Amino acid sequence: MSDGITTPIKHSTHLTEIAPDTFVDATGHQLTPKEVRNIVTPHDFAVNTSLFGLTLARPWRRALAISIDGVFIALLAGGGVTFFTPLYLYLVWRCHALQNIKRRNILLLLMPLMLVFAYTENNNVNEDTVMDIASAIELSTAAIAIGNNCDEKCADTKANELISALQNEQLSNSQAEETLTDLLANSVLSAEQQQQKLTLMQQRRATLSDAGKLLVEQALSETSAAPAKLNWWQKLQQSDHSVMKWAQGILADLGISFGWAVAYLTVFTSWNNGQTPGKKLLGIKVVQLDNKPLSLWGAFGRQGGYSAGLATGLSGFFQIYWDPNRQAIQDKLADTLVLRIKN
């Protein structure tokens, strides 16, 4: 009787790749895709012969293309529906032009939902309602436990955990008090005990607030004091026109636009024949080494390479100048090339 565990095939050093990702063993048996995934194969991600001799994209074209894409991403992050709609419709049209009717229909079905997402994503969020992820997890865990067969000792412990989570200074006092009151109402704690916990949270939040005010006062007093002599590095950091301020601004923009960048680079690269709008304008495209279409998951992995390039101090990007096939770090991760083509 099968227990759901795949029986390993017999070990063989005589595996032959007769086509990309297609192998036969010494007996002539062709391995199934499931068997291939479960064993070590001689596949070495060689370049498909059909790609030999094709022109690689020059570094300046790639740099200009990603710069154009960066502008589009920034517009998406800041403009919401205004810039999202034409780009989305462009992708729908490209899927239709490439005769990928299934993807076109998926995009059309998802369009109302995506428009709502684009609208809500770019609305201003009240900072008083924002919680960090760790506090949210702690709050959710304690909230579930305190109302789920939790005795008095357990409820007391979980109430303290709730208080700790609700100390997040980004929540307003009224919101924190209302949340704790509602959660404690589902516990076995008496009304008096619930009030004690509410008072405890109010005291802790007041202490945090006073500490914050003290830090602000200290900062103001230090600012008003006679300025100390600064070295050249401190002057550079504080300059409004320094390269450091410019770099910090770019990083801040990347943080704000990260979600849009992931979606933009993933979907366009996969569903637009390896071309983002920037690459389309510059006449270049991304292809896999095996010359197969880049999947959505493969495109997602490739865009993650941009983060790796930043983490390597940009050297991961500059390697296109010395790599034999001009592969940057994102290309190495996804086994891709960037070709120069005619528009």
What tokens does 48 get?
Answer: 């498909």
Q: Which residues contact 38 (CB under 8 A, 6 or more apart)?
A: 6, 8, 9
What tokens does 289 get?
Answer: 């080494």
What tokens does 71 get?
Answer: 């502008």
∠ CA 77-78-83, rounded to 5°: 80
CB-based burial of residue 305 (10 Å sphere; 0-12 exposed, 13-18 middle, 19+ buried)? buried
pLDDT tens for 155-179 read 888 888 877 777 665 567 777 777 7
Quote the pLDDT of residue 76. 83
Write down the domain spans for the chain.
Answer: 1-43, 81-121, 129-221
Residue with structure tokens 């017999």?
10
Quote the pLDDT of residue 141. 63
DSSP at 55: P
Average pLDDT over residues 320-342: 88
Contact indicator for 298, 252 with CB cutoff of 8 Å:
no
Average pLDDT over residues 234-259: 54
Residue with structure tokens 């060689």?
46
CB-based burial of residue 261 (10 Å sphere; 0-12 exposed, 13-18 middle, 19+ buried)? buried
Pairing type for strands 336-340 and 284-288 reads antiparallel
Average pLDDT over residues 72-85: 81
Q: What share of the chain is helix, strand, coil (3-state, %, to 5)?
A: 65, 5, 30
CA-based nearest residue to 17, from 48, 41, 52: 41
pLDDT tens for 220-238 read 565 555 555 665 555 555 5
3-class SS at 125?
A: coil
pTM for this predicted structure: 0.54
Average pLDDT over residues 194-218: 73
Q: Which long-range contacts (CB under 8 A, 24 or more apart) does 120-125 make?
A: 121/80, 121/259, 122/77, 122/78, 122/79, 122/80, 122/81, 123/80
What does the mean pLDDT of the chain come to? 75
Quote the pLDDT of residue 3. 45
